[in-house]
Amino acid sequence: MTHPDVPEDEKSVWEKPGTLKAIWIILIAGCVFSAGWGFLLAAQGKLGYDPHFEDKTGLAGVLGALADHFPAFYALVGFVSFSFIVLAGQHLRKILMRDESYYDGEEGRS
């Protein structure tokens, strides 16, 4: 992301290339650390949660057991949901998008 018309000494700290790279590294490292810590606690049996779906039967019981015993279940559901929203938004944009002159009205056509 370069701005040829802005001198290098006038760029803000957010426009410098090293800042964006550092933000990505910190974000990815934080996600990996958080997920790893959850798996470590689950492997040691110290996750400290009470099962919520023990008495359920059928599909709710199967999915509930998965949610209760898989440490990253809710992270996975969140990621899949977010991905679905982004992909659905791309297609929704095609339906809702208007021409640039859509709001010009009669005075824009003369």
2 lies in some domain: no
Residue 69's pLDDT is 76
Residue 25's pLDDT is 95
Query: Cα–Cα–Cα angle for 40, 59, 37, nearest 5°?
Result: 10
Residue 48's pLDDT is 63
Q: How far apart are CA 79 and CA 32, in angstroms?
A: 14
Q: How far apart are CA 84 and CA 81, in angstroms?
A: 5
107 lies in some domain: no
Residue 16's pLDDT is 77
Residue 67's pLDDT is 78
67 lies in some domain: yes
Ranges of residues in the chain with a pLDDT under 50 are none
Tally of domains in the chain: 1
Residue 106's pLDDT is 64
Residue 38's pLDDT is 80
67-80 pLDDT, tens digit per residue, is 777 767 788 889 99
Q: Which domain holds residue 52?
A: 8-98
In this structure, are residues 67 and 73 in contact, taking their beta carbons and an 8 Å threshold? yes
105 lies in some domain: no
* Angular region, 109: left φ>0, alpha ψ -120 to 50, beta rest: alpha
Q: How far apart are CA 100 and CA 108, in angstroms?
A: 11
Take residue 14 and report the two structure tokens written for it: 């957010």
Q: Nearest Cα to 70, choosing from 49, 91, 86? A: 49
33 lies in some domain: yes
In this structure, are residues 90 and 82 in contact, taking their beta carbons and an 8 Å threshold? no
38 lies in some domain: yes
46 lies in some domain: yes
2-19 pLDDT, tens digit per residue, is 556 777 777 777 777 788
109 lies in some domain: no
Residue 23's pLDDT is 92
